[in-house]
Amino acid sequence: MTEEAQQKIRGLVDMAMSYVIEPMRLSVPAVPETLDGLVEQLKSNLVLDEKTDSPSSTQDEEPWDGEAFGVRLANLGKLLANDVTKATLACKPPAESKAVIKMVEALGETCFRLAGFVESIPVKVAGQTYKNEIQILANNIFLATAGLMNEFLEVKNEKLLQIQQQNMAFDLKTGGNVKGTGAGAGAGTGTGVGMEKSVSATAAAAAVAAAETAIASLSSEGLADKSSFVKEDGYLVKTGIVWEACQIFEKASRSNRQAVAKKWGDMMSTMEDAIAEVQEMIDTNDDKKDSNDEDDEDDDEDDEDGNDSGDESDDSWGEDEKMTEEEKQLSTRANAMLKLTRLLFKKLQQRCLDVEPSRTIDTSASLSNASPSLLGTDPTTAGSTVTLKQSDLALMWDQLYDRAGGIVALTDEIATSLYSPQDQGSIIEQLKELSRKNQDCILMGRLFVRGQAEHERWLDMCVAQFKKILDTVVQQQT
């Protein structure tokens, strides 16, 4: 392979890596205390024009079709996967430099198109959570493409090798979730730019299957020779990894609501784990109590025989301490609040995410004084209803997700803090914080169900139940 061909490949690797962009963190200001204040906050954070700092009119907002965008994105992923396979075939030794240059340039052009396509997503209308999901999927493709083409360089790209050597579990099938990042990943802080240090057997098999599909497809068109690849060929695995990354575009969210719903499922799973951990802690404590009672009886019998029963068994070393009755009561109350939080999340999922909310909402009560620039029309002239714009809903879902992420992180902390010996004062403060954060999420939920009396009453009862549990905990400690 000539130096010119090597330079083309090196340029492609550098370009693909330059397209890897860390997703933006959600930036949500302090939560207002009233629904009226929330509406004003949404207005100030979304409707102000970036250039003029003046309210934008409803007519300035162009509609965004997530379904059409998703179809084009999936097709672009298929095109890139085919170009990657062709470039790999051209670069495999013995390589013809002219063919290498041609295929690498074509692959670079497709990468450029994909990067521009992702960048074109209008965050204000499409939503930040959606944009982050697509950006992470694109990052996976760019890194996988760079990793594949780096294999053909005589002098490897050191920066890329360092990324590949990071000890991060990278799951392509779930859209690039980086495991081991803690609650922050659930809250949208993961970068999605890590790559596996090595491909697991299952992932390698899936990658080989994907690559074989690619080769078979191109072979049927007379563009590839299946005999040029063998099962043990490392290029085959790396090509398959790119194909898998591209195929995930077909399952990508088509709206901010869908993107938040995916994250919501992950958060619910984390919360279930926290509740199960606390319940197991309580149940195990009861078992320890029964066991200790039996041991006490055995000790009494040993004492009557004159034997020394003061030494503890080595088997008990390292075990969690048995809760006191007071600690058990606090753990039970705390778990009741965690379970109520889980129920709140299920209701919010049903009311805010499972179905597309109505864009027409009641302007009675506090919303009658809300800014017309947020609601899309002037309440004083529109009667009893106003219409939310696509951008309003996008930001509402982003704020709902951001607030929920903080709750999930806190539930995990509470579960960990309940092990004996407990710092009960600290736990009570955590429960107060959980109650406050739940109120913030409920406030967001009220905006979605505004004017729906049945759902508003349920949220009222939920608020009352949180207060009842918290009051019981506080009174118990006084």
CA distances from 94 to 14, 223, 232, 233, 462 (A): 24, 17, 18, 15, 69
Torsion, CA 116, CA 118, CA 121, CA 123, rounded to 10: -120
**Which region among 370-379, 384-393, 430-439 has the lowest average model confidence (pLDDT)?**
370-379
- Residue 232: band (very low, low, confident or very high) from pLDDT cuts 50, 70, 90: very low
- Is 164 in the same domain as 274? no
Summarize the confidence of residues 360-378 as an average pLDDT.
46
Question: Per the structure, how many domains does the chain have?
Answer: 2
Comparing 240 with 183, the larger pLDDT belongs to 240
Cβ–Cβ < 8 Å for 104, 8: yes
Summarize the confidence of residues 243-254 as an average pLDDT.
91
pLDDT value for 165: 67
Per the domain annotation, does 317 fall within a domain? no
Residues 6+ apart with CB under 8 A from 342: 268, 271, 272, 275
pLDDT value for 225: 47
pLDDT value for 291: 54
CA distances from 128 to 31, 166, 257, 413 (A): 18, 27, 11, 27
- Is 241 in the same domain as 276? no
- Is 276 in the same domain as 225? no
pLDDT in tens, 260-303: 999 999 999 999 999 999 999 888 876 555 555 555 555 555 55
- Is 451 in the same domain as 357? yes
- Is 232 in the same domain as 286? no
Range of the domain at 358: 258-300+322-476
Per the domain annotation, does 327 fall within a domain? yes
pLDDT at 140 over 50: yes
Per the domain annotation, does 177 fall within a domain? yes
Cβ–Cβ < 8 Å for 441, 447: no
- Residue 185: band (very low, low, confident or very high) from pLDDT cuts 50, 70, 90: very low
pLDDT value for 52: 34
Strand partners, 360: 387
Comparing 177 with 397, the larger pLDDT belongs to 397
Comparing 288 with 304, the larger pLDDT belongs to 288
For residue 72, give the H/E element and its range: helix 66-91
What is the C-alpha to C-alpha distance for residues 16 and 139, in angstroms, rounded to an integer?
A: 9
SS3 content of the chain, % helix, strand, coil (to 5): 70, 5, 30
Cβ–Cβ < 8 Å for 403, 412: no
Per the domain annotation, does 305 fall within a domain? no
Q: What is the CATH number of the domain that holds 393?
A: 1.20.1410.10
97-119 and 3-18 helices, crossing angle to 10°: 10
Positive or negative, the CA dihedral 195, 200, 202, 206 is positive
- Is 199 in the same domain as 92? yes
- Is 268 in the same domain as 234? no
pLDDT in tens, 10-69: 999 999 999 999 888 776 556 666 666 666 666 665 443 333 333 344 446 788 899 999
- Is 220 in the same domain as 365? no
What is the C-alpha to C-alpha distance for residues 441 and 344, in angstroms, rounded to an integer?
A: 9
| Percent of the chain residues past pLDDT 70, beyond the cut | 65
- Is 270 in the same domain as 145? no
Decide: helix, strand or coil at residue 369: helix
Per the domain annotation, does 313 fall within a domain? no
Torsion, CA 278, CA 280, CA 286, CA 289, rounded to 10: -90
- Residue 346: band (very low, low, confident or very high) from pLDDT cuts 50, 70, 90: very high
Summarize the confidence of residues 340-351 as an average pLDDT.
95
What is the C-alpha to C-alpha distance for residues 470 and 464, in angstroms, rounded to an integer?
A: 10
pLDDT at 243 over 90: no
For residue 273, give the H/E element and its range: helix 256-304
pLDDT value for 155: 87
What is the C-alpha to C-alpha distance for residues 332 and 22, in angstroms, rounded to an integer?
A: 41
pLDDT value for 340: 96
Summarize the confidence of residues 322-336 as an average pLDDT.
91
Does the bond joining 421 to the residue before it have cis omega, within 30 degrees of 0?
A: yes
Cβ–Cβ < 8 Å for 151, 238: yes
pLDDT at 366 over 70: no
- Is 121 in the same domain as 268? no
Summarize the confidence of residues 474-478 as an average pLDDT.
80
pLDDT value for 71: 95
Positive or negative, the CA dihedral 102, 105, 109, 111 is positive
Q: Which of 198, 220, 254 is the last residue of a domain?
A: 254
Per the domain annotation, does 56 fall within a domain? yes
- Residue 307: band (very low, low, confident or very high) from pLDDT cuts 50, 70, 90: low
Per the domain annotation, does 309 fall within a domain? no
- Residue 98: band (very low, low, confident or very high) from pLDDT cuts 50, 70, 90: very high
What is the C-alpha to C-alpha distance for residues 116 and 305, in angstroms, rounded to an integer?
A: 84
- Residue 178: band (very low, low, confident or very high) from pLDDT cuts 50, 70, 90: very low
> How many CA atoms within 13 Å lie on the side-chain side of 296?
6
- Is 173 in the same domain as 245? yes
Nearest to 150 by CA among 338, 324, 11: 11
Per the domain annotation, does 314 fall within a domain? no
Read off the tokens for 296. 């006490």
- Residue 107: band (very low, low, confident or very high) from pLDDT cuts 50, 70, 90: very high
- Is 288 in the same domain as 174? no
Q: What is the DSSP letter of 368?
A: G
Instruction: Tell me the H-state helices in 221-255.
Output: 234-247
pLDDT in tens, 388-428: 788 888 888 998 999 998 999 999 999 999 998 999 999 99
Angle made by CA atoms 439, 441, 446, in degrees to the nearest 5: 90
